[in-house]
Structure 1
Amino acid sequence: MTPTRPLRRLLVANRGEIAVRIMKTAKTMGIETVAVFSDADAEALHVRSADLAHRLGPAPARESYLDVDKILEAARATGADAIHPGYGFLSENADFADAVADAGLIFVGPPASAIRAMGSKAAAKALMEEAGVPLVPGWHGADASEAVLAREAERIGFPVLIKASAGGGGKGMKVVERAEDLAETLLSARREAQAAFGDDRVLIEKYLTRPRHVEVQVFADSHGETVHLFERDCSLQRRHQKVIEEAPAPGITPERRAAMGKAAIDAARAVGYVGAGTVEFITQGDDFFFMEMNTRLQVEHPVTEAITGLDLVEWQIRVARGEPLPLTQDEILLVGHAVEARLYAEDPARDFLPQTGRLTRLAFPEGVRVDTGVEEGDEISRHYDPMIAKLIAHGPTRAEALARLAVALRATELDGPATNLGFLERLVGHPGVVGDTHDTGFIAREADALLAEPPADERLWNAAALVRLAREEAEAKRAPADPFSPFATAGAWGLNVAARRVVTLDDGTAPRTLTFETDRSGTRLVTAGGAMPVACRLAADRATITLGDARFAVTFAEDGDRLTLASPLGRARFREIDPRAGTASTHHHADRLVAPMPGSVVQVLVEAGASVTAGTPLVVVEAMKMEHVVRAPHDGIVEKVEVAVGDVVAEGFELAVMAAEA
């Protein structure tokens, strides 16, 4: 079928894995691609994946990826016919959609009128209310002053949920348990909403206690046809951000699927929708309520592609250039089950704080789909979302899809900043997830079990020590100063006795010393119970370990004195301790308040000399579109404030000092 509008070169106004994903599809369609980038992304994977690239400006998003004029200039400079916004950034910005159209370019997304209608959560809920779609009790009116929201919160009853009117993804979303916490939480939600979407408006609704989050993928063309591509369950969330998504939603009856699909199509038709969109519902018991419509492609779209066998980006491009939908509703088939896990650079043990740093090791297994915007050696920046990759497993049943995802997570090799990889492994294997008894509050309720790092397998301690010794020998043999010297043999040796070598390792809980003896017959691990023959054969970043009669393979990554192992026995991280270094004496001041992550200071709430009570907010640090409030650890006096609004701080930077507690 001949396209109604030519599309030969596509500019992707985004970064990371979604930009890479869009470019891959565009190239299969014979469309050239253009990447845009900030200074922080000059060598990023999405830039390397494009046919052409154009610099936007400095690292902050407002000076690069959120600058409409710069993106349009990039399109003109590179001769692009169309712009795909991806998700996040300007993807749901109606003014941007208008600007693209006014420039004579194709916007690969819905019309600006539909974005405006659904872009405001409050306006969208009012529209759905008129259409008879059930809504969660709340306040979605134009007057969202603190006084009005306080009144409405009392009316519907605590706990309540504050949500940003102009966006999603958990940004600006806060749960308020008590009336006395509303004012402070409201301010924080408004700041996050402003930072993420350029709009600080919020709404408030009843916080359901055991809900499920189910969303329906819809697609519409410019010829009046609208279809749904079934539903996804996104109930496994932390901080209101999705972690695991699956399709179809487990436990959904054919009748419920039909009802939700019809409601989603009605919602799309009500605003004259064109393109890919997602209508989100919250369910509890037999009821479902409209939450919002995302007027863009979703992060979790791969699970829908897996169960339908379709390429949603291809559909977006075809619809954008005027073609009808490739299939009718009856022709769209649902096959099997798919599950997606989002791999982030974040520390689950510290409330999932985003992390930064270089990915010194990154390798994914075969057998699953991996969408990523980074490669080994790339840097996770403080400026943007810390997602590393999405792993998507598909199988004939839910149980098989979950099992395949679990195997893939265990086989993923990753070292660098802290990540949620181990957390994901425990999550997909948890009986509550496998048994489908979870809801949106599941992760918070099961935090103790999900966050607890299991102790490293005993055999991994031995393997780590053997890898260290083998690496030392390999390094020593590589370039001896005198190849004829007896010391060039690189091994420990002794006259008529077995050579003894000792390795001391620490896994973060307690150090352990392992002793090895080597003679002509081989190497043995010496323990209180005797000696066991051991061996280690290296091959690049992999090793074959022999412990007595057992043999297994490990992959490893080294970073200074740190060694990370991955194997069928599990994953473990060790630090080698030099026994000659002694112990450093450090003084820890309990009242030295430091930045929990790299970021920017967005608010300083106290001055030196202020008297505060325990829990009083002192400084607010923002990074990766998240805010973290540093609070007073106890009643006392603020001795010093070391930062001002706008300061960029590293993790551990001193923000303020409080007088010691009496």
Structure 2
Amino acid sequence: MIQSLLIANRGEIACRIIRTARAMGIRTVAVYSDADAQALHVRQADEAVHIGPSPARESYLVGEKIIAAAKQTGAAAIHPGYGFLSENADFAQAVIDAGLVWVGPKPDSIRAMGLKDAAKARMIAAGVPVTPGYLGEDQSPERLQAESDAIGYPVLIKAVAGGGGKGMRRVDAATDFQDALASCQREAASSFGDDRVLIEKYILSPRHIEVQVFGDSHGNVVHLFERDCSLQRRHQKVIEEAPAPGMDWPTRHAICTAAVRAAKAVDYVGAGTIEFIADASEGLRADRIWFMEMNTRLQVEHPVTEEITGVDLVEWQLRVASGEKLPKAQGELKIDGWAMEARLYAEDPAKGFLPSTGKLDYLYLPQEARIETGVQEGDTISPFYDPMIAKIVVHRADRDGARKALAEGCDGTCCAPVRTNAWFLKRLVEHPVFASGQISTGFIGAFSDELTAPPEPSPLLLQEAAERLIFDNWDEPSGWKNRTLDLKRGLTGFRLNRPPETRVSLYLDGNPLPTFAYDLALYDSAAVYEVSSGTYYDSREATYFEGGAAFAFTRFADVSQASTAGDGAMLAPMPGRITAVEVATGDSVAKGQRLVTLEAMKMEHGLVAPFDGVVAELNAVAGAQVSEGTLLVRIEKSE
């Protein structure tokens, strides 16, 4: 058995691997960048080595530094986790050549499945059903157009070396093909250094079904059943579950047997995932499920498989890497109950899923769920890496029980001041279409407006917030000047009036909330307001949590000088670097005109003029780093 292990990754997956390794008595070594010097995985490991600056390309993606760290600390093996170098065959070979144990598949297996066209050809030879399409050598635009015309629209153009949703375009008509092809090839060349593409028939009612497979060095390969990963946004998975809803046993047997054949075709060793696309227009059927690709690593969503099988997949990885046989044969693996996983991200779904970075001053995650996380309260969500806070995993006897438990877990998630997608996740699992199991990869897009509409606080929560402000300001004369106390939440104002008859009313946008009116004589100045566990306070704000959303209330007295887009002030929506300033002080601008471009979390975000006007103030400088809320531009309306 391996005695010491270096984890060539960070965050929740590094913490997950450390947990199993520690239980097995294996010494662990973490690696970290500048940004991760105080990260949870660094604190949990037995030893940690600094490998470079914050950008991943200068630290976590530099294989030589990771191998050197393993040798420096005497680690016997390297576990790549997922992402970064986990599917890099050259890195895997370098680890082996350095005399270290590679906790993953053989480099040749990674190469065999790394290029989508070659992988599909191999699957066809192995008798694994593949999506109808074209994966030939002739990459001329004319040939690709002709093949697409023959397949029939819609089609999907996919980068041969693609992954993570990049280098992929849907084309609905022949007239759109050439523009989509050029765009796809540009992105493929930029992201993967390879502009070759393949063409697939686009499935109109697609389900994303994947099968967990596992092989050892003794020739054994088993499957651990399927997962459904159909809830996706821009080809990125949001919620996963196991088993797949609507899957009967004959269809399960067909798809899982095909997955085992696929793994055997590349002499697979270790944990891997065979991904299939299903045409679910008439339910799940064995003759309408096709191979898409293989992920030659452990998956983000592996916990749902662990929950329904009772297997620790990381333990299996370490045992197989040590030369042992698989702990269980196929006949010993059973499905027990239903599991679901939601990816909790630091992002704001109501603002186009804009990432939210910063310090986690307050963080509460549901205690009734399995939590996989790489952060704790007080840690920081960095702009350098994927902004995942945690994975919330639940396991119940049936799907409806798991769905309700996951909704409760998202409901009970509290985070401030960093924003999260918890309320969005809750809406997803409570949606009647998801509850019915009749989902597809287009589900989120189809219901986007209702799923991402900004959450609003309930009247009861407004009452609590107002009540808190009453007690905070009971003995503060300025708080009751003119018998009025003003509150602010976002861009919406709330007014709390204290008439002479000592009754209090709360107004929202000028309209009274009749649910809130009571006699202040019931309270005295010594009254103590009990703060619930679902409330976070700092020196200026009271943040309440409801339905997975955070609502911050601030007195107008504290924010009277603050500007909003409504009066022409353009504030930085998140910390980032200014990459372009396209106006100057005194310029006339039109509504919708781009003013400043901000880069954060590897994405560009454009700030546009809210109305026609003139640039009255400009604080943005190209190349500068700015904090969230920084005033960048102020526009004055045209007369």
Report the TM range for the smaller structure's normalisation. Answer: 0.7 to 0.9
1:537, 1:119 → 2: CA distance?
69
1:536, 1:246 → 2: CA distance?
52
Residue by residue, what CA displacement relative to the aligned partner does 1:19-67 show, whole Å, maximum 9, x if unpaired? 1100110000000111111111111111111111111111111111110
Residue by residue, what CA displacement relative to the aligned partner does 1:330-367 show, whole Å, maximum 9, x if unpaired? 10111000000001112212332323222221111221
Aligned pairs (5 A) from 1:136-535: 136-144=131-139, 148-177=143-172, 189=184, 193=188, 201-285=196-280, 286=285, 287-471=288-472, 490=475, 502-508=484-490, 510-515=492-497, 525-526=504-505, 531-532=518-519
SS in 2 for 1:165: strand
Shift of 1:289: 0.8
Shift of 1:120: 1.2
1:507, 1:500 → 2: CA distance?
21
Contact 2:422 2:548 in 1 (8 A): no
Contact 1:220 1:275 in 2 (8 A): yes
2:398, 2:525 → 1: CA distance?
40
| Distance of aligned partners of 1:654 and 1:407 in 2 relative to their CA distance in 1, 3 Å threshold | closer
Q: Which residue matches 2:614?
A: none
Contact 1:98 1:112 in 2 (8 A): yes
SS in 2 for 1:59: coil
SS in 2 for 1:419: coil
| Distance of aligned partners of 1:629 and 1:506 in 2 relative to their CA distance in 1, 3 Å threshold | closer
SS in 1 for 2:438: coil
1:556 to 503, 528, 535: 535
Q: Which residue matches 2:588?
A: none
Contact 1:385 1:625 in 2 (8 A): no
CA RMSD across the alignment = 4.4
Moved more, 371-380 or 232-241: 371-380
Q: Which residue matches 2:585?
A: none
Contact 2:486 2:496 in 1 (8 A): yes
Contact 2:488 2:554 in 1 (8 A): yes
Contact 1:466 1:535 in 2 (8 A): no
Shift of 1:424: 0.6
Unmatched segments (≥5 aa) in structure 1: 474-489, 546-552, 606-613, 635-639
Q: Percent identity?
A: 53
| Pair 1:58-2:53 in alignment | yes
Unmatched segments (≥5 aa) in structure 2: 507-511, 583-590, 612-617
1:21 to 16, 19, 34: 16
1:656, 1:504 → 2: CA distance?
27
Q: Which residue matches 1:609?
A: none
Residue by residue, what CA displacement relative to the aligned partner does 1:508-545 show, whole Å, maximum 9, x if unpaired? 463121245999xxx96456875346779999xx9647
1:229, 1:585 → 2: CA distance?
55
| Distance of aligned partners of 1:270 and 1:508 in 2 relative to their CA distance in 1, 3 Å threshold | same
1:195, 1:208 → 2: CA distance?
27
1:574 to 552, 555, 560: 552
| Distance of aligned partners of 1:174 and 1:17 in 2 relative to their CA distance in 1, 3 Å threshold | farther
SS in 2 for 1:172: strand
Give TM-score, length-normalised by structure 2.
Answer: 0.84
1:560, 1:191 → 2: CA distance?
49
Residue by residue, what CA displacement relative to the aligned partner does 1:121-176 show, whole Å, maximum 9, x if unpaired? 12111211222322223333345465554444444344333334335332333434
SS in 1 for 2:25: coil
2:84, 2:213 → 1: CA distance?
21
1:114, 1:233 → 2: CA distance?
24
Letter in 2 for 1:8: Q
1:289, 1:46 → 2: CA distance?
38
1:236, 1:101 → 2: CA distance?
37
| Distance of aligned partners of 1:195 and 1:321 in 2 relative to their CA distance in 1, 3 Å threshold | farther
2:128, 2:255 → 1: CA distance?
10
1:145, 1:600 → 2: CA distance?
39
